[in-house]
Amino acid sequence: MIRITDLKAGYAGNEVLHGLNLEFAKGSMTAILGPNGSGKTTLVSSISGVLSPLAGSIEIEGRRVDAYRPRELAGIMAVLPQRVDPAFGLTVESMVMMGRYAHGSGFFGYDAEDERIVAEAIERVGIKHLAERSVAELSGGEFQRVLMARTVAQQAGIMVLDEASSGVDVAGKIELFDLLKSMNRGGATIVCVIHDLNLAALYFERLVFLSGGNVALDGSPVEVITEENISNVYETSVAVVEHPSLGVPQVLFSPAAD
Residues 147 and 223 both lie in one domain: no
Containing domain of residue 146, as a range? Answer: 87-155
Helices (H), the chain: 40-48, 70-74, 92-97, 112-125, 140-153, 170-185, 197-203, 221-224, 227-234
Residues 121 and 47 both lie in one domain: no
Residues 161 and 241 both lie in one domain: yes
List the 158-162 sheet strands across, edge first. 77-80, 158-162, 189-193, 29-33, 206-211, 214-219
How far apart, in whole angstroms, are the C-alpha atoms of residue 250 and residue 199? 9
* Percentage of residues of the chain with pLDDT beyond 90: 62
Contact 250, 243 (CB under 8 A): yes
Report pLDDT digits (tens) over 232-250: 999 889 999 999 999 899 9
Instruction: Give per-residue burial for 141-150: e unless 16+ CB within 10 Å, then b.
Output: ebbbbbbbbb
Report pLDDT digits (tens) over 161-203: 998 777 788 888 898 899 999 999 999 999 999 999 999 999 9
Angle at 83 between CA 175 and CA 154, to 5 degrees: 60
For range 216-222, the mean pLDDT: 96
Please give the tally of structural domains in the chain: 2
Specify the pTM.
0.90
Residues 129 and 185 both lie in one domain: no
Residues 58 and 31 both lie in one domain: yes
How far apart, in whole angstroms, are the C-alpha atoms of residue 192 and residue 29? 8
Instruction: Report the residue count for the chain.
Output: 258
| Domain end point (choices 102, 125, 155) | 155
Q: What is the DSSP letter of 162?
A: E
pLDDT band at residue 113, thresholds of 50, 70 and 90?
A: confident
Is 166 within the bounds of a domain? yes
For range 199-224, the mean pLDDT: 95
Burial of 67 (0-12, 13-18, 19+ CB in 10 A): exposed
Dihedral (CA of 37, 25, 200, 141) sign: positive
